[in-house]
Amino acid sequence: MESPLSQIQESFILRYSSWVNEALDELPDSFTITDPCISGHPIVFASRGFLKMSGYSKAEVIGRNGRIFQGPATNRRSVMEIREAIREERSLQISLLNYRKDGTPFWMLFHMSPVFSKSDGKLIHFVAVQVPILRKSGHLGIGVARNGVSVCENGCTSPEILLGACRREVFSDSMLDLHRKFMFNSVVDPDKGVVEDLCEASEVEKRKASTAICNILSVLSHYSASTGRLVSGSRCNVQGTGILSSALIIALGRIKQSFVLIDPHLPNWPNVYASDAFLELTGYARHEVSGCSHKFLSGSDTDSSTLLQINESIQSGQPHTVYILSYRKNGSSFWNLLHVSPVRNASGKIAYFIEVHKEDDGKRLGGHVPSPDLMQLGAVGAVKVAVRSLSMGPGPSKS
């Protein structure tokens, strides 16, 4: 099973040439790149500009979710808009209050854009550019630090920010009360714990964010060409490939059993997803399994009549369990207790078939057909729940 660290490393290594990190570091913009297909949607690249702006080191950022930059005054409605855009695999540009490592808040224009594979249209990464919003003259720029202390845009906590010309020695209790009332009643909603969206990005800042996105996508496209795995900022309509949404991939990644997902609506019924436990059982990497025929584990001594039973099960839309001799990547064989079952979407139509694989050392001889065990049935149930709950989201419809 791949570790989270190896998944993060492979997120770049398998897609781009080794020079991509250096090329991205030469860009002056503040941005991060995340992988929505890894559980937790971690950051896999952070630019020098972003690290300087946020105060974090690269080691503190890589592998973490973007939530670490949010705080008590971050608008939860804005966060929900970002999550919805990720689920729908689309671009988004929104003003957001984030926090530096030292706890000081700052407003930024957050511009997020998806990166797709040109060969099969699958979502690969999200690029997120952060452009600091320069406030207009006279704007107070008050927020709330992570410790609850009210601060100005540059992190200052002095009341002179609000009362400008007044010296500290002439502050009265009533003036300080007015200061607190303004900050916590007008700026912070005490019920929701959010700061109202006081900052709107200028057209110049919006253009700067859009230009940065284009430059980053250009670098990624260039350095993906040398590996033959081209990427694009827009999804290509590729016929004959099964595309799973990132939300479904993450949901499937939480299921610990060994299984593959098959798309019966495509030629040769290819695998469109393989679990970590399946990869550990067979020795294959995920990219070696994706797109292969569901029969790719068969070998010279695999019983062809058993393969026929699996085919008939898929054609008839019925579950079935068999013992079958399967082969790992290294050529070693094992007896496989294989359970195949249809998976229906929210409308009741078959969207996929799941094959749950379990190594079995005591193959039963004769004509007895085994029953699936509880672990296999549990995997089937979990996949059905994931597909049904997310089948109304983006992605190809299944008929």
pLDDT cut 70: percent of the chain above it? 76
Which of the pair, 10 or 165, is modelled with greater confidence?
Answer: 10
pLDDT value for 120:
75
Question: Residues 52, 182: one domain?
Answer: yes
Tell me if 378 sits within 8 A of 277, measured CB to CB: no
Q: Is residue 260 part of a domain?
A: yes
Residue 370's pLDDT band, with cuts at 50, 70 and 90, is low
Tell me if 257 sits within 8 A of 373, measured CB to CB: no
Question: Residues 257, 365: one domain?
Answer: yes
Domain boundary among the residues 192, 208, 232 is at 232
Tell me if 45 sits within 8 A of 63, measured CB to CB: no
Torsion of CA 387, 392, 393, 395, to 10 degrees: 80
pLDDT value for 103:
93
**Is the pLDDT reported for residue 146 higher than 70?**
no
**Tokens 């939300």, residue located:** 247
Question: Residues 184, 66: one domain?
Answer: yes
Residue 37's pLDDT band, with cuts at 50, 70 and 90, is confident
Question: Residues 251, 219: one domain?
Answer: no
Question: Residues 252, 227: one domain?
Answer: no
Question: Residues 150, 34: one domain?
Answer: yes
Which of the pair, 109 or 11, is modelled with greater confidence?
Answer: 109
pLDDT value for 144:
56
Residue 398's pLDDT band, with cuts at 50, 70 and 90, is very low
Question: Residues 254, 184: one domain?
Answer: no
**Is the pLDDT reported for residue 47 higher than 90?**
yes
Domain boundary among the residues 183, 201, 232 is at 232
**Is the pLDDT reported for residue 101 higher than 80?**
yes
Residue 377's pLDDT band, with cuts at 50, 70 and 90, is confident
Q: Is the dihedral of CA 172, 173, 174, 178 positive or negative?
A: positive
pLDDT value for 318:
92
Domain boundary among the residues 232, 256, 285 is at 232
**Is the pLDDT reported for residue 395 higher than 50?**
no
Classify burial at 348, counting beta carbons within 10 Å of its beta carbon; exposed 0-12, middle 13-18, buried 19 or more. Answer: exposed
pLDDT value for 44:
93
Residue 83's pLDDT band, with cuts at 50, 70 and 90, is confident
Mean pLDDT of the chain: 79
Residue 117's pLDDT band, with cuts at 50, 70 and 90, is confident
**Is the pLDDT reported for residue 104 higher than 90?**
yes
Residue 362's pLDDT band, with cuts at 50, 70 and 90, is low
CA distance 395 to 393: 7
Question: Residues 210, 342: one domain?
Answer: no
Angle, alpha carbons 304-360-282 (nearest 5°): 75
pLDDT single digits (tens) 56-71: 999 999 999 999 999 9
CA distance 228 to 219: 15
**Is the pLDDT reported for residue 110 higher than 60?**
yes
pLDDT value for 1:
46
> Residue 278 forms beta bridges with which residues?
none
Question: 90-104, 174-188, 381-395: which has the minimum mean pLDDT?
Answer: 174-188
Q: What are phi and psi of 40, to 5 degrees?
A: 95, -5
Helices (H), the chain: 4-13, 20-25, 48-54, 58-61, 76-88, 160-163, 173-181, 203-225, 246-253, 276-282, 286-289, 304-316, 374-390
Which of the pair, 87 or 157, is modelled with greater confidence?
Answer: 87
What mean pLDDT comes out for the span 123-127?
A: 92
Q: Is residue 120 part of a domain?
A: yes
pLDDT single digits (tens) 340-358: 999 998 778 898 999 999 9
**Tokens 């296999």, residue located:** 376
Pick from 23, 25, 126: nearest CA to 66 = 126
Question: Residues 133, 260: one domain?
Answer: no
Q: Is residue 395 part of a domain?
A: no
pTM recorded for the entire structure? 0.57
**Is the pLDDT reported for residue 153 higher than 70?**
no
**Is the pLDDT reported for residue 7 higher than 70?**
yes
Domain count, the chain: 2
What is the pairing mode between strands 333-344 and 350-359?
antiparallel
Structural domain harbouring 356 = 246-390
CATH number of domain containing 17:
3.30.450.20
Question: 53-62, 121-130, 339-348, 363-372: which has the minimum mean pLDDT?
Answer: 363-372
**DSSP states along 28-39:** -S-EEEE-TTST
What mean pLDDT comes out for the span 128-144?
A: 67
Question: 4-13, 135-144, 319-328: which has the minimum mean pLDDT?
Answer: 135-144
Q: What is the b/e burial string over 162-201, where b = at least 16 CB atoms within 10 angstroms of the residue's CB?
A: bbeeeeeeeeeeeeeeebeeebeeebbeeeeebbeebbeb
**Which tokens in the block code for residue 88?**
């729908």
Question: Residues 322, 345: one domain?
Answer: yes
Question: Residues 300, 221: one domain?
Answer: no
**Is the pLDDT reported for residue 365 higher than 50?**
no
For the ranges 134-138, 190-194, 338-342, the maximum mean pLDDT occurs at: 338-342
